[in-house]
Homo-oligomer: A and B are copies of this chain.
């Protein structure tokens, strides 16, 4: 930690700050400069909670060198984490590129069975489908909720596919965890810390989507909540961020994938459907993410996107998914062998 003082700070200010640091069990080192003094803080073993210093008027800026996360950091866990899904499918490290697919929302038994059957035929191991749907307007379709969970459970039993669904409230953890293989924390809930604590108390794999306006540091700190609670099975999912550009639904931040992998040992996957919001862009971006280093992708597909109750414009038709999967397989093999 570095504490930069105001031009006008007095030597008494410097002494006071040094005393406060000492009380925090740390060691201050003054760095007098031509224009202002700075104080280096050494001796900490992790992130320093700087609150005793923050209100001090002689301080211009406090700069953290240590990060607000530790367990998720590659510094403290150099090897890639490999998460096992449903006891059989692996994601992360050198595991094969993982595809998760399915509709945005669970709408009906027929829709889910059709989709699951198709995915099974294609060899896609994990089905997605939202039972609880966070929607901007209360006048939009809100998901089938508990009956949607039952449908997911049924499809999972009948087809043997693994199932992932979004969880939106801490009180749903038990029922959702009982019905699916993988929990998803959505972008809008990335900083719903009570929810993170609860999913951290299960051992279920958790897909943690990046928030719409979350920095990489905040995203990793949210993952830290889950690990701190005892659940190491976190999969990070980049899904686009909110920027000034409205030509796409969000701005796909592909560069964050290699950077997240550099800073953290956790697996990182990509959601090209939400990241772009446009069907035509799903395939090129899904493929590009493989080259950028993603461990997998989560793709929206629907038997009839033009009648989907949500996210129709970004959902692939079956035929489009089939074509994309062929390319994914070819490209992933090539990248593994040649790049």
A-side residues, CB < 8 A to B, are 2, 4, 7, 29, 31-36, 38, 40, 42-47, 49, 51-57, 61, 63, 65-66, 68-70, 75, 132, 134-142, 168-171, 188-189, 191-195, 212-213, 215-218, 221-222, 224-225, 228, 241-248, 251-259, 262, 275-276, 278-281, 284-285, 287-293, 302, 304-313, 315, 327, 330-331, 334, 338-339
Once the chains are docked, how many angstroms separate the CA of A49 from the CA of B312? 12
CB–CB B38/A34 < 8 A: no
CB–CB A258/B281 < 8 A: yes
CB–CB B7/A55 < 8 A: no
Copies in the complex: 4
- Quick one: which of B33, B218, B291 contacts A291, CB cutoff 8 A? B291
- 18 other A-B residue contacts (CB within 8 Å) besides A51-B307, A169-B195, A254-B285: A4-B65, A34-B43, A35-B46, A47-B139, A49-B140, A51-B309, A54-B305, A54-B311, A55-B304, A61-B65, A70-B139, A132-B194, A134-B191, A169-B192, A251-B251, A287-B291, A290-B291, A327-B338
CB–CB B310/A136 < 8 A: no
Once the chains are docked, how many angstroms separate the CA of A194 from the CA of B69? 28
Once the chains are docked, how many angstroms separate the CA of A243 from the CA of B168? 26
CB–CB B40/A34 < 8 A: no
CB–CB A245/B33 < 8 A: no
Can you name 27 A-B pairs with beta carbons within 8 Å? Answer: A33-B40, A36-B65, A51-B141, A51-B310, A54-B305, A55-B307, A55-B308, A55-B312, A55-B313, A68-B137, A68-B139, A132-B194, A135-B193, A137-B221, A138-B225, A142-B193, A169-B195, A212-B213, A243-B243, A243-B251, A245-B256, A251-B251, A252-B255, A254-B288, A287-B291, A287-B292, A291-B291
Q: Cβ of A68: which chain B residues have Cβ within 8 Å of it?
A: 136-137, 139-140
The 6 closest A-B pairs by CB, nearest first: A55-B305, A55-B306, A55-B312, A68-B137, A213-B213, A54-B312
Smallest CB gap from A309: residue in B: B51
A2 to chain B, nearest CB (A): 5
